[in-house]
Amino acid sequence: MLELISIVSALCVGFLLVRAFDPVRNMQPLWAAVLFAIALGSGIGIGLMSVIFFLLDVLGIATPVSIFGIDIVLIGILAWRSWRMRGDGTRSTSDGAAPPFRWTWLLAVAFGIALLMSGSRLVQMAAALPVGDWDAWAIWNLRAKFIAGPGGNWRYALSPLLSNTHPDYPLLLSAFVARAWKASGGTSTIAPIVTAFAFFAALVALLVSAVTLLRSAASAILAGLVILSTTSLLIWVPAQYSDIPIALYYLAAIALIFLAPSPMADERRALLWAGVCAGLAAWTKNEGIAFLVILTIVFFLTALWRVGARAALHRSGLLLAGAAPGILLTLWLKFFLAPAVDPLVTQGASGLSRLLDVSRYAQVGEAFFKELLNLGSGVAHPLILLAILVVTLRLQIEEPYRSPSLIAAVSLGLVFLSYCATLVVAPYGLTWQLQTSFDRLFLQVWPSVLLILFVLLRSVVDAAPLATASKGAIARKAPNRAPKRVPVKRG
């Protein structure tokens, strides 16, 4: 029970923190803004409490009293601030907005059914494999048990004797699970299972709420249906790997960059939170470091091109300020705490010969197209659904989304290319690497790719009001037409 309380309290801290400095508080619809804060706050809360607990553990003061004491203090302060801020700001209105799709309720019913079916299947899979898959008990949960141990046992999680299980990996997931175990005094399977489900629920909620704020509710529900049809993604949720968490942080950073230019969003807060999420991605997996570096560079160069050097430095500074805690903690771990055992670092010049091997590129390319096919199955395959939507709705890059779309697409493309380059030069057997990890690397960027696609798709709206608007435009083109006289009854 204490494990669940510690997890829920971390989620509450994250939600209240985001609501206290909410970048989308004034955006409509209200339910989407609140859902976005809940989803973003879940990821922020888990990441923040992971950082705090690890620092407490290193200092030797991580106890149930300190864990829950910090939670109570933070919840109290943030709840007070949220209460003081109630009613602040001016919400946007729907004047001039696209009319709602009349069949949104039907899409919502379909999404609810898909969500229930997916959720029940995930529960069955988690019950059948409560300890998770290989990496869960060999890396993430193994290190969590060391971190949750007494005294200075956290050092064992970074021991060079664990060279086959990556002791230099970032610790967000392991530290958060260890926090729940430390709070309860046990090491049951409940904490990693609930954490994995919390990350997945936040991922789906974040995608749906972000697309709603950026496009429409109907478009958002379609995005939710597409991500739930990605069966390969669902498989990894009960596995308790860190790929779902890092996918959430990627998606959150990209969504906030899309939302930042909105007139009703707080750009400074959005960029700060985007940086926080990018920093937490670095604290989650090695791939997150590449994401943070690439996103920052692409963001700065795009801003430099679009708005000039001064504004580009200011906005990039906000992004880096938010990322600072996550990246500094990760660098401290990499350079001062963990051993340098990563084969990519220690292999020397042998990686260059593999880099020049054309056959390895062909293998990676073949695996890429194979993973596209393995995203789903049957007529509900996500690529089939996306193809239907593209043909039906057509792509439309609107001016507010051009710069964020460029930043997101180029960043994700370069991140995925860095994944492929890492596989090409890796000293492990390439075939084995592609079979065991390439699908997870693909899924890390998949939710963010869906966000970009649904932002670029035209919103799902009723056609009748558009026809009316067209008639109004035709009328405006005929200014010389005399107005129709209406007889007035004289009293």
Please state, in angstroms and rounded to a whole number, the distance separating the CA atoms of residues 222 and 211: 10
Q: Is residue 271 part of a domain?
A: yes
Q: Is residue 243 part of a domain?
A: yes
Q: Is residue 409 part of a domain?
A: yes
Say if CB 309 and CB 76 are below 8 A apart. Answer: no
Tens-digit pLDDT profile for residues 124-133:
999 999 999 9
The pLDDT > 90 percentage for the chain reads: 68
Please state, in angstroms and rounded to a whole number, the distance separating the CA atoms of residues 36 and 155: 37
Q: How far is CA 320 from CA 225, 275, 276, 332, in A?
A: 34, 6, 8, 17
Q: Is residue 471 part of a domain?
A: no
What is the reported pLDDT for 26?
86
Q: Which of 136, 144, 155, 8 is nearest to 67 (CA)?
A: 8
What is the reported pLDDT for 349?
56
Q: Is residue 223 part of a domain?
A: yes
Does the global pTM surpass 0.85? Answer: yes
Contacts of 218 (CB under 8 A, 6+ apart): 100, 101, 103, 104, 107, 459, 460, 461
What is the reported pLDDT for 475?
40
Q: Quick one: tokens of 51?
A: 């950082």
Tens-digit pLDDT profile for residues 309-328:
999 999 999 999 999 999 99
What is the reported pLDDT for 291?
97
Residuewise pLDDT in 10s, the chain (491 residues) = 899 999 999 999 999 999 999 999 888 899 999 999 999 999 999 999 999 999 999 999 999 999 999 999 999 999 988 787 766 555 554 444 556 677 888 999 999 999 999 999 999 999 999 999 989 989 999 999 999 998 888 999 998 888 778 888 999 999 999 999 999 988 999 999 999 999 999 999 999 999 999 999 999 999 999 999 999 999 999 999 999 999 999 999 999 999 999 888 899 999 999 999 999 999 999 999 999 999 999 999 999 998 899 999 999 999 999 999 999 999 999 999 888 776 665 555 566 778 888 889 999 999 999 999 999 988 889 999 999 999 998 888 888 889 999 999 999 999 999 999 989 888 778 888 898 899 999 999 999 999 999 999 988 765 433 333 333 433 444 444 444 444 444 43
Q: Is residue 18 part of a domain?
A: yes
What is the reported pLDDT for 326?
93
What is the reported pLDDT for 448?
97
What is the reported pLDDT for 463?
43
Q: Is residue 475 part of a domain?
A: no
Q: Which of 179, 190, 198, 284 is nearest to 237 (CA)?
A: 198
Total number of domains constituting the chain: 1
Q: Quick one: tokens of 147?
A: 């971190």
| Domain extent at residue 128 | 2-84+113-462
Q: Is residue 57 part of a domain?
A: yes
